[in-house]
Amino acid sequence: MRVFVTGASGWIGSATVDELLAAGHEVTGLARSDASAAALEAKGARVRRGDLDDLASIRAGAEEAEAVIHLANKHDWSNPAASAAAERGAVQTIGDALVGTDRPFLFASGVAGLSQGRPSTEADPSPFHGPDSPRGGSENLALGFVERGVASVSLRFAPTVHGARDHGFIAAIAAVAREKGVSGYPGDGANRWAAVHVSDAARLVVTGLAKAPAGSRLHAVAEEGVPTREIAEAIGRAFGLPVASIAPEEVQGHFGWIGTFFGMDLAASSAATRELLGWTPVGPTLIEDIDAGGYSAAPSAG
């Protein structure tokens, strides 16, 4: 299949492009820099130069392809509204380009805010609607295209898609630990984070492209919930730092933007996804990756 991938140079996108190429797909990756373009070309992927703010380029990429996988995100944590607006704009543009084609449109999403007091499941609809909601309400916007002839599929990634050289949320928490000289966890550290290794996440994306019906919500989750206290203990071991509880009212001040997420219970099940696709995660656990030094090269905060 000819697949257009946004975010093809990113953490999940790079692994996904490798999986797509290995499965025999033709990949065109969106690249906004010479470095990202060169990395894609070196793998054997084609390149479409463009930016999330260049919707004409995204539209053309989607129109030329037989399937779209949208993984780009600005991730500007100092301006979440701008990231959400760009996300919504890209999803609207790709959806519009695919109307009436029945072509697969797989797009990144997450598990935050789907349930209260229990792990979220694929049956939980996103409560986020409209441009002012998290991620710009992009999951519901994209799934709304199903009735207009687009095979939209939500890729709900665990809050940590981990592995060596990951620069995501766990790297940010590790950076705070190094800066503060203490590996903290929120409150009693009983709140949990779902987790998945990046190789399993990429394999899920490619399996979902082949097999997921339109309208599916897939959970890229290997571990249902790792207590934040265990995450902090592993980071403490990795950097030789003391481990301490951070009082709930101090979490935001201590951790900064990542505190919003580290203080949340983000447990999630993937039972329905495994059943639907026959997908079985096999990669290392989050704690194994931290213990193996996967985050030891993380830059310090600020």
Ligand X SMILES: NC(=O)c1ccc[n+]([C@@H]2O[C@H](COP(=O)([O-])OP(=O)(O)OC[C@H]3O[C@@H](n4cnc5c(N)ncnc54)[C@H](OP(=O)(O)O)[C@@H]3O)[C@@H](O)[C@H]2O)c1
Residue 154 near residue 220 (C-beta atoms within 8 A): no
Between 62 and 161, name the residue whose CB sits nearer to ligand X. 161
* 221 touches ligand X by CB under 6 A: no
Residue nearest to ligand X as judged by C-beta position: 10
* 280 touches ligand X by CB under 6 A: no
* 159 touches ligand X by CB under 6 A: yes
The Cα angle at residue 96 between residues 91 and 100, in degrees rounded to 5: 125
Sign of the alpha-carbon dihedral angle for 294, 52, 193, 185: positive
* 32 touches ligand X by CB under 6 A: yes
Between 51 and 250, name the residue whose CB sits nearer to ligand X. 51
Quote the least distance from Cβ 234 to ligand X, whole Å: 16
* 165 touches ligand X by CB under 6 A: no
* 13 touches ligand X by CB under 6 A: yes
User: Which of 49-55's residues contact partners 24+ apart within 8 Å by CB, and which partners?
Assistant: 52/6, 52/86, 52/87, 52/89, 52/90, 53/86, 53/89, 55/89, 55/90, 55/93
Of 62, 108, 246, 276, the residue at the interface with ligand X (CB under 6 A) is 108
* 4 touches ligand X by CB under 6 A: no
Of 9, 57, 191, 228, the residue at the interface with ligand X (CB under 6 A) is 9
For the chain, where are the E strands, in sequence order?
Answer: 2-6, 26-31, 46-49, 67-70, 104-110, 151-157, 160-162, 183-186, 192-197, 217-220, 223-227, 243-246
Reference 94, options 129, 149, 148, 55; nearest CA is 55
Quote the least distance from Cβ 86 to ligand X, whole Å: 6
56 exposure class (CB count in 10 Å sphere: 0-12, 13-18, 19+): exposed
Stretch that binds ligand X, among 120-128, 152-160, 210-218, 245-253 (CB under 6 A): 152-160
Q: Considering only residues 110-149, where is the footprint of ligand X by CB under 6 A?
A: 110
* 161 touches ligand X by CB under 6 A: yes
- Residues in contact with ligand X by the rule CB under 6 A: 7, 9-13, 30, 32-33, 36, 51-52, 71-75, 108, 110, 157, 159-161, 168-169
